[in-house]
Each structure stands twice: as C-alpha cells, then as structure tokens.
C-alpha cells in the first residue's frame, strides 16, 4: 500500500464527487481500503454506537418492559402489599420517564445535527453509510420505550388501597401532610369542603403533570422526524447508484468499488437490508399514529363528551384504571415491545457488520472502547435504581402506618 497516496485522498463530503474521484482510479480502493471503506461505510462512532450508548439503549428498553410488566401484574390485585408496591412503582416510573425522556431528546437532537451535516456534505467525519443506518435505528430505539408511558398516564399514579380509586398525590397543604384520596365531595361541613378543595387541586396538578409528560414526548417525536425523512429519502428517493436518471455510478462499477470492503466477512443481504428499513419505517409510523390518536382523544374529551363516552365504553381510550379498560393499552405495549425487539436486532446486526468490516480492513473499531461520553450515557439511568433502593429501604417511613 502506498501510504502517501492514501493519505492524500480527499475526505468524502459529497457522495457524487467522491465516487467520481474513485472511478478515475479504481485501484485505490484495494490499495487504500482503510481510508476508502471508512469514508464510504464508516468505521464506528462511539457517540452513536459505543459501549456506553449501547448500555443506555438496552437499559431504557429493559426498565420500561419491567415497569410495564409489574404494573400489568399488580394493577387489579387486592393484596396487603399491593398498595405500597403501587406507590414504589409510580415513583420509579416517574423517575425513569424523566431520565429516559431527556436521554431520548439528547439522542434525537444529536441525530438531527449529524445527519443534517452529513446529508448536506458539511461534515461527514465518522458518518459512513452504515453509521447513518445505525443513527436511523437509534432514533426509533430511544423513542419507542416512551410511548406506553406517554399514553398510559395512570401508570404514574398511586393508590391508597387495593381497590379502584383514582390517583392520589401528597400535597404540602393537605391536612397534616397526608395523602388525600379521591372521594365524592358530598356534605356541607367545612372539613369536607376543605378536603374537596384539596382534591380539586390534586387533580389539577395531576392533569398538568400528565400534559407536561405528553408534551415533552411530543417534542421528542418532532425531533425524530428528520431522521425518518433522511431514511425515506436515502432508501426510497432517487438513487445515485444504478441506471436511473441522476445516478452517478452504475451498479456494476459500484459493486467493484465496495467489494474489497467486505471481503471474507458476512455482509448483509438485500432482503435483510430491506427488512431493516421496513421495520424502521413501521416503527416510526406506529408511534406517529398512536400519537395522533392520543391528540384526538384529548380533543374529544374536552369538546365532544358524547363521543368520548362512547369510546370509553368500547375500551378505546387508552385508560388503564381497570383490566377491561387497559386492554387497548396492553395491546399497545405488546406491539411496542415487538417493534423494540426488531430495532434492537437491526442495531446489533448493523453494528456487527461495521465491526467486522473495520477489523477486516485493518481499522481500529473504537465503539468497543469506554470513553468519557460512554460513562455519562450509563449514569443517566442510575437515578432509577437509586429511587427504587431508597423506597424499598425506607418502607417503614413511606409505607402505610
């Protein structure tokens, strides 16, 4: 390999210009595999698919599945331990949602910035084709775990007994700092009126908090639109490879250029690549449909009470107060977990391909290293475990008297 020639190769800013340069001397691909293959496909990016980020993605998905599973298991149980378990679950779910939401928002914003730079040709460092595909996947992978919690607000609410009471909340202005459970505000005594006043304030706070959670999830979804658009344009827009008008290289020539990059490794077939793209599109569209449906439900609840009550009788309102009402939400959770499994598979399949290619061409696969940012991405979810341990450790303080 002529090191001086390889080092003099220009960086890849725009695909068409880079391919035109490579076509003039195809032998450069074989001589400079590390430089050329890295520019075309990417040799890893720890900020996107490093060990710490991978741990963060898996933690977000795993914690969501555990919380939802426990909620479904105890939601309608009537045992002595159900009350405190529900209290712990509500607080842990709230802590997890807050940490996962801003983790997701950070990933979405970062994905927008690096994809915009790569698509415009401003900066393609570390953004080869495989890295871009991984970025599309993690956009879905971080968004999906928030969906069941954003639409199932009852998950964040406590109960004061094992019955079917509505949410409760501790307020500093409540009598003696105790929790005020929901009740029918009947009677004329001043004490009862005071309790009703506290209850109204509790409900207002709960509604405001639920609106905040849903609004922030909506913000994350908005930020996920550009990665989805980038995927759609790249996969289903006008191709620069092939014989179509506007293409810059024929399929045969392209195959010759990329052949040295994937020698002696198991590459991804066209069927697998299509499956990854299809599952990614379906995942984002599913989130979008459910988000729009929730917005419609919120509008109907406020302005069309008759239609709202009809949907509620049909168990189509995403309520989770009873087992019957939670059937649609349970279906939502099931589909979400299936789609999450598909995105995890896509992520690790692409990551393995990039790792094998990088090592095959003699490169340094940095995604297996723990860097500063990798540690930060793991620490993000530590508050969830701290909250769980704290509530279990001090059950005598927080538990029922």
Provide CB contacts within 8 A for 81, sequence distance 6+.
Answer: none
What is the pLDDT, as a whole number, of residue 71? 87
Closest CA to 287 of 337, 222, 221, 223: 221
Q: Which DSSP helix (H) or strand (E) runs through 172?
A: none
At residue 54, φ and ψ (nearest 5 deg) are -60, -45
What is the pLDDT, as a whole number, of residue 79? 66
What is the pLDDT, as a whole number, of residue 171? 40
Query: Is the dihedral angle over the CA atoms 225, 228, 234, 238 positive or is it negative?
Result: negative
Distance CA 106, CA 114 (A): 12
Provide CB contacts within 8 A for 266, sequence distance 6+.
Answer: 353, 356
CA atoms within 13 A on the CB side of 16: 8
Distance CA 225, CA 81 (A): 43
Q: Rounded to the nearest 5 degrees, what angle is found at the Cα of 170, between the Cα atoms of 167 and 172? A: 145
Closest CA to 389 of 401, 398, 380: 398
In this prediction the pTM is 0.83
Closest CA to 16 of 110, 124, 115: 124
Note down pLDDT in tens along the chain; length 401 residues: 555 667 666 666 667 667 766 666 667 777 777 887 887 888 888 888 888 899 999 999 999 999 999 988 887 666 667 788 888 999 999 999 999 999 999 999 999 998 888 777 655 555 678 899 999 999 999 999 999 999 887 788 765 443 334 444 444 434 333 344 443 434 455 555 565 676 777 777 777 888 889 999 999 999 999 999 999 988 887 777 766 676 777 777 777 777 888 887 888 888 999 999 999 999 999 999 999 988 888 888 778 878 878 877 777 777 766 666 677 888 899 999 999 999 999 999 999 999 998 888 888 888 888 777 778 888 999 999 999 999 988 888 877 65
Structure tokens at 81: 């331990």
In the chain the first and final C-alpha atoms are separated, in Å, by 77
Whether 367 and 377 have beta carbons less than 8 Å apart is answered as no
Structure tokens at 61: 């998905």
Whether 328 and 315 have beta carbons less than 8 Å apart is answered as yes
CA atoms within 13 A on the CB side of 40: 24
Q: CA–CA distance from 370 to each of 204, 283, 329, 367 (Å)? A: 45, 30, 38, 8
What is the pLDDT, as a whole number, of residue 181? 42
**pLDDT tens digits, one per residue of 191-229:** 555 656 767 777 777 778 888 899 999 999 999 999 999
Whether 365 and 352 have beta carbons less than 8 Å apart is answered as no
What is the pLDDT, as a whole number, of residue 97? 95
Provide CB contacts within 8 A for 365, sequence distance 6+.
Answer: 43, 44, 354, 355, 358, 359
SS3 state of residue 170: strand
Neighbours of 66 (CB within 10 A): 14
Whether 103 and 70 have beta carbons less than 8 Å apart is answered as no
DSSP per-residue codes, 275-296? HHHHHHHHHHHHHHHHHHHHHH
What is the pLDDT, as a whole number, of residue 133? 93
Structure tokens at 113: 């910035």
């Amino acid at each position: 390999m002529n090191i001086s020639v390889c080092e003099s190769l220009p960086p890849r800013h725009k695909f068409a210009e880079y391919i035109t340069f490579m076509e003039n001397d195809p032998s450069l691909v074989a001589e400079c595999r590390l430089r050329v293959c890295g520019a075309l496909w990417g040799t890893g990016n720890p900020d996107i698919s490093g060990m710490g980020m991978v741990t963060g993605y898996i933690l977000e998905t795993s914690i969501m599945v555990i919380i939802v599973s426990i909620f479904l298991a105890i939601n309608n149980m009537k045992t002595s331990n159900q009350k405190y378990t529900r209290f712990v679950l509500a607080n842990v779910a709230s802590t997890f949602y807050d940490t996962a939401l801003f983790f997701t928002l950070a990933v979405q914003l970062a994905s927008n910035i690096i994809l915009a730079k790569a698509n415009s040709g401003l900066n393609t460092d570390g953004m080869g084709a495989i890295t871009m595909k991984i970025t599309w996947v993690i956009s879905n992978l971080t968004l999906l775990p928030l969906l069941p919690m954003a639409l199932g607000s009852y998950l964040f609410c406590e109960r004061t007994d094992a019955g079917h009471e509505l949410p409760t909340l501790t307020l500093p202005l409540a009598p003696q700092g105790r929790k005020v459970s929901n009740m029918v505000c009947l009677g004329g005594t001043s004490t009862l009126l005071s309790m009703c006043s506290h209850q109204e304030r509790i409900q207002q706070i709960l509604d405001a908090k639920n609106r905040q959670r849903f609004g922030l999830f909506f913000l994350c979804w908005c930020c996920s639109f550009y990665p989805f658009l980038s995927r759609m344009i790249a996969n289903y827009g006008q191709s620069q490879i092939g014989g179509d008008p506007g293409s810059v290289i024929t399929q045969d020539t392209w195959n010759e250029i990329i052949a040295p990059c994937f020698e002696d490794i198991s590459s991804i077939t066209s069927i697998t690549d299509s499956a990854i793209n299809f599952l990614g599109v379906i995942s984002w569209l599913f989130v979008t449909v459910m988000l729009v449906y929730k917005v419609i439900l919120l509008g109907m609840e406020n302005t069309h009470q008759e239609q709202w009550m009809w949907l509620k009788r049909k168990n189509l309102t995403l309520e989770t107060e009873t087992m019957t009402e939670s059937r649609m939400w349970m279906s939502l959770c099931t589909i979400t977990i299936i789609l999450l499994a598909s995105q995890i598979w896509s992520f690790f399949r692409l990551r393995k391909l990039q790792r094998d290619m990088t090592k095959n061409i003699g490169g340094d696969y940095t995604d297996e290293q723990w860097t500063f940012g990798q540690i930060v991405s793991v620490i993000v979810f530590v508050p969830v475990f701290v909250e769980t341990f704290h509530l279990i450790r001090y059950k005598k303080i927080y538990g029922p008297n």
